[in-house]
Structure 1
Amino acid sequence: MPIRNEERHLRAAVERVIDQHYPGDLEVVLAVAPSEDRTADIAAELAAADPRIVVVDNPAGHTPVGLNLAIARAAHDIIVRVDGHGELSRDYIATAVRLLEETGAGNVGGLMDARGTGPLSEAIAAAYNSRFGLGGGGFHLADTPAGPADTVFLGVFRRSALADVGGFDETLQRAQDWELNYRLRTAGHLVYFSPALRVAYRPRDSFGALARQFYRTGQWRREVARRHPETLSLRYLAPPVAVSAMGAGIVGGIVGLVLRNRLLTGLFIVPLTYLLFQGVATATMTGLSPAARLRLPAVLATMHIAWGLGFLVGVRSEDRG
């Protein structure tokens, strides 16, 4: 479990691992990055209270570095990837181990079940769990059937499969899970999705944190595409294309108004089409409180625009490692 600034959710995340209905030996390895809250103190308290909990230091602070440090310290042949703001379903590990045995997969994983705790995080969770938000990524949708997958949320790995591909790429600050699963598949290991594996995920709870998260994700997804161009798809190109088109439509429309050019003014149709898309999404998503529905258009715009801008800008060469 790589953790940083997880004061609010860490205890619950660890408790969900410790309380698993799993008959075998179990340990929790916490890779603690430099934090701005009490994450390190809470991790130390948890380890002092339970010998199955181990703390390792992750001074670099990056997620893939912490994951590799934790894997190196782990004592067992099955590695369960957990987040500090995720809570495993009760039989998650037992089900995953059974699926590893039944399928022969190198990695099995399941559903990212985003759950909000207030109006804003509820809207963000709804966007995560919808095709309108993240474009239909399989592990975000409850109706995705079990079977081979390009990638899964988190994952339960055979240690031998991780060793075969060299573990997580420490030069990738984001998108390292997707890239690892790509290398596993390329090396001949099955990546298997099952909706029976469910993780309650606590999303960001501010527009600023959401924008930063998606901007950096867009940056690093472009870096993965630069390294593995064969992995590009329309789904990943949609946000940067939409951002570019909306920017051109707004600028062109304004110029058209100034010059009284009807053709250029007509470019306003592009951002207006996106507004229509938001309206349809907001109206058709179910199970939202009125306060969350009110925030949903801004949430969708933040996710799409931040991701698209990040992809267009990309990662600075000095940050590539």
Structure 2
Amino acid sequence: MVAEAAVTPQTQGTRLRVCVVLPSATRGGAEIWQERLAAAGSRVDLEVIALAEGDAAAQWRRLGVPVTVVPTGTRAKGAPRAVARVAAVLRRSRPDLVLGHGVKAGLVAAAAGAMSGTRSAWVRHDDSFEGGLVRLLDTLVDGRVSSAQRLTTGRPAGLVVPPPLPTGMVSRAEATARLGLADDGLLRVAMATRLAPYKGVDDAIRALAQVDGWALHVYGVADAAYPAEHGRLVALAESLGVAGRVHLHDPVDGVGSLLAAHDALAVLTRADRDARVTGESHSMAAHEALACGVPVVATPPLEQTLGEGCLAVPAGDPAAVAAALVGLTDAAVRARVGAAGREVVAGEDPHAAAEALERHLAAVALRPGAGRVDGPPVSVITTVLGEAEGLGTLLDQLRPQLGPDDEVVVVDGGSRDATVDVARAHAQEDPRVTVVVSPGAGISAGRNIGIERARHDLVACTDVGCEPAAGWLTSLRRAAADHPGALLTGVYDVTATTPLQRALAVTGYPVVEESTHPTPLTRLHGRLFGRAFDPTMPTGRSMALHRDAWREVGGFPEHLATGEDVTFGRAVAQRRPAVLVTDALVTWEQRPTLRSTLRMYYRYGQGSGHSRDALLLARDAARALAYPVGVALVARGGAARGLALAAGALYLSVPALRAARGPQPVRTTLLVAPVSALRDGAKVLGALDGLRHPPDGDA
């Protein structure tokens, strides 16, 4: 996952680009969590924005990752400036995703992502700011990751990635030597933590005053928020007469792999008033101790994840900590608890954890499969009828994308021109091309025939008239490897050469860039008016799925002449996950005239009516009502007129902005409103006709 990870010709240009936002200068468990996952991954290129200079940023520089420091300062009034600076960095680097660690960095990442048009996610490492801020952040971002299962309660779906274990755990003798620990005849209890009051180091010191035979070794990372903590702990140890058994070490890089030098680890986080946490949700050091066979003494709720490898003690109770240490004085008890701890972490695999995180982030960025080099073989299905020239062009574009085990199945519905001859000529040149002639088969029937005849379970669809971009098929293949069995919805762009065609394009079709790099306006517009790619509503131009999913819904609906792909996709999405694959791009040639385009929308409306799909019909009903209601409100005047004009302006805003950015912006923009009205009218009339007249065969 780190920047210097091997880049092969197969992954060049396809890897996921993620910008990580770190909240502070401190290099604690959350920062090490990201470092280890980055080291174990292989599909992501990282850059880092640190909100303070310090050890965390320095470590990423040592790893060869680009780092930008954007200080937020200690006061809230500095946050807007920091957000603006982070947004500027994101605009320059254009990552696929910005990932914030913790609530502070998550809020900065979400706000800067909105300003810069960057999709965002955040990682929750503890239960700080439980409640309103967490709910707000979950609403603002596109993806959510947690480091412990308990942090997901009451929140939208996300991914749980526990702290990954380090590699290279060493023996007790070697760890003791590397740490330079003297053999003083005392048992050793370790704490690897930030030096903050709520981390409970003072409870461990007070416990030490109540039990003999133990020494406390604290590998403490200084916390800039509590500069006096080290001195406070030293004074406490001296006042209790245990200064000779309390050792406050400097931080040791990789101390987790050296915990075998100790006889126990203490994690004693408590809910102090200014801590904003109620307990330790996960502990990097605790998992490392379990891997070393070292028992853990921990406050709730950590025992929920550490199991029998943990002795639970109440928070803020030094006497209970002392009692736990007394119990662990028995070597047999230490051995039993340590062995149980090893069992708890025996199945943990940092590479599997990194793969899960990379897979999740790629899906959040709408680039599933990004950076992969593998995937199953694919059967591409295309149906044709009287399209000799277009079929030749499509096969010329598809064949170079085929792998050795892939195939293209061409289903001809009874062409009277040279379409079949063109298909068979390609089949003679390339055995990966199969031709099926089925006179009378429409688009749905042709797809069903092709899928039935396909050699592979992963099937993709595209149409003549579409130009698959380089890597189209590979993108679907890689996405299928990330999400086996899911509905994979590709994307499309439309050609436009005249102002009228551009007006039709900006009003009628979604834009890929508005999905991968959305602004608040394009997000709102897409949700309100359906002008965004929806993974549950694929088109036959660019989609893929497992053949079992096709069987589950009875195939493409053959009674529908239009809209069959959307109806089919919605049926599949009710049973299986649906994933948008923005790398699977085809370019589609628009109808040449306004008349033919309106006829197409009329037929789309008929398909909605024939399908009786509630969502599609609701959209058409909204179109039907919007115009007369809007005119009535404008005529009424006053606040009603303002509301109607505002709604109309919002409806036309994104198409107008698209038009203004293209060629001949004035002429194109002037056509946006009338073209929108004509398109909506054609769709509504078609839907009404479809409701009144059932499709052939359903009468």
- Range class of TM-score, shorter chain: 0.7 to 0.9
Q: Which residue number in structure 2 is paired with residue 241 of structure 1?
A: 625
Q: CA deviation at 1:311?
A: 1.2
The structure carrying a bigger helix percent of its residues is: 1
**Quick check: 1:219 aligned with 2:606?**
yes
When the two structures are superposed, what TM-score results if normalisation uses the length of structure 1? 0.75
1:288 to 659, 662, 666: 662
Distance change (3 Å), C-alpha of 1:240 and 1:295? same
Measure the CA separation in 1 of the matches of 2:625 and 2:445.
Answer: 32
1:67 to 429, 447, 460: 447
- Contact 1:114 / 1:129 at 8 angstroms: preserved in 2? no
Q: CA deviation at 1:217?
A: 0.7
- Point out the more displaced range, 213-222 or 29-38: 29-38
Measure the CA separation in 2 of the matches of 1:244 and 1:60.
Answer: 42
1:18 to 399, 420, 432: 399
2:588 to 201, 204, 209: 201
**Quick check: 1:107 aligned with 2:491?**
no
Measure the CA separation in 2 of the matches of 1:117 and 1:40.
Answer: 31
Measure the CA separation in 2 of the matches of 1:55 and 1:296.
Answer: 43
Q: What SS is found at the alignment partner of 1:319?
A: coil
Q: What SS is found at the alignment partner of 2:423?
A: helix
Measure the CA separation in 1 of the matches of 2:486 and 2:652.
Answer: 42
1:129 to 507, 510, 518: 510
- Contact 2:397 / 2:468 at 8 angstroms: preserved in 1? yes
Measure the CA separation in 2 of the matches of 1:120 and 1:243.
Answer: 22
Larger Rg: 2
Q: Return the letter of the residue paired with 1:217.
A: Y
Measure the CA separation in 2 of the matches of 1:106 and 1:176.
Answer: 19
**Quick check: 1:96 aligned with 2:476?**
yes
**Quick check: 1:87 aligned with 2:481?**
no
- Contact 1:240 / 1:307 at 8 angstroms: preserved in 2? no
**Quick check: 1:164 aligned with 2:538?**
no
Q: What SS is found at the alignment partner of 2:504?
A: helix
Measure the CA separation in 2 of the matches of 1:138 and 1:38.
Answer: 38
- Any gaps of 5 or more consecutive residues in structure 1? 141-148, 254-261
Measure the CA separation in 2 of the matches of 1:308 and 1:273.
Answer: 23
- Contact 2:492 / 2:586 at 8 angstroms: preserved in 1? yes
- Contact 2:620 / 2:683 at 8 angstroms: preserved in 1? no
Query: Root-mean-square deviation (CA), in Å?
Result: 3.7
Q: Return the letter of the residue paired with 1:10.
A: L
- Contact 2:412 / 2:436 at 8 angstroms: preserved in 1? yes
Distance change (3 Å), C-alpha of 1:234 and 1:4? same
Q: Return the letter of the residue paired with 1:150.
A: T
Distance change (3 Å), C-alpha of 1:120 and 1:2? farther
Q: CA deviation at 1:156?
A: 0.9
Measure the CA separation in 1 of the matches of 2:570 and 2:642.
Answer: 38
Measure the CA separation in 2 of the matches of 1:82 and 1:195.
Answer: 15
Distance change (3 Å), C-alpha of 1:283 and 1:193? closer
- Point out the more displaced range, 155-164 or 113-122: 113-122
Q: Which residue number in structure 1 is paired with residue 368 of structure 2?
A: none
Q: Which residue number in structure 2 is paired with residue 53 of structure 1?
A: 433
Distance change (3 Å), C-alpha of 1:14 and 1:243? farther
Q: CA deviation at 1:67?
A: 0.6
Q: CA deviation at 1:48?
A: 4.1
- Point out the more displaced range, 100-109 or 204-213: 100-109
Q: CA deviation at 1:270?
A: 12
Q: Return the letter of the residue paired with 2:553.
A: V
Q: CA deviation at 1:317?
A: 2.8
Measure the CA separation in 2 of the matches of 1:157 and 1:83.
Answer: 16
CA shift digits 1:1-51 (9 cap, x unpaired): 01235455333322222121x544121111223558654454344334433
Measure the CA separation in 2 of the matches of 1:126 and 1:284.
Answer: 9
Q: CA deviation at 1:135?
A: 3.1
Q: Which residue number in structure 2 is paired with residue 319 of structure 1?
A: 696
Consecutive aligned runs of 4 or more in structure 1 exceeding 6 Å deviation: 131-134, 268-279
- Contact 1:174 / 1:220 at 8 angstroms: preserved in 2? yes
**Quick check: 1:151 aligned with 2:527?**
no
- Contact 1:13 / 1:87 at 8 angstroms: preserved in 2? yes
Distance change (3 Å), C-alpha of 1:16 and 1:244? farther
CA shift digits 1:105-133 (9 cap, x unpaired): 33212212222255543433333136789
Q: Return the letter of the residue paired with 1:152.
A: P
CA shift digits 1:242-300 (9 cap, x unpaired): 46658xx69xx9xxxxxxxx98xxxx999999987787566422433226556544533
Q: Which residue number in structure 2 is paired with residue 143 of structure 1?
A: none
Q: Return the letter of the residue paired with 2:679.
A: M
Q: CA deviation at 1:204?
A: 1.2
Measure the CA separation in 1 of the matches of 2:472 and 2:564.
Answer: 22
Q: Per chain length, whose mean CA-contact separation is higher, i.e. which structure has more relative contact order (CA < 8 Å, sep 6+)?
A: 1
Measure the CA separation in 2 of the matches of 1:101 and 1:289.
Answer: 40
Q: Which residue number in structure 1 is paired with residue 59 of structure 2?
A: none
Distance change (3 Å), C-alpha of 1:313 and 1:200? same
5 Å matches for 1:24-35?
24-34=404-414
- Contact 1:240 / 1:312 at 8 angstroms: preserved in 2? no
Q: What SS is found at the alignment partner of 2:459?
A: strand
Q: Return the letter of the residue paired with 2:440.
A: A
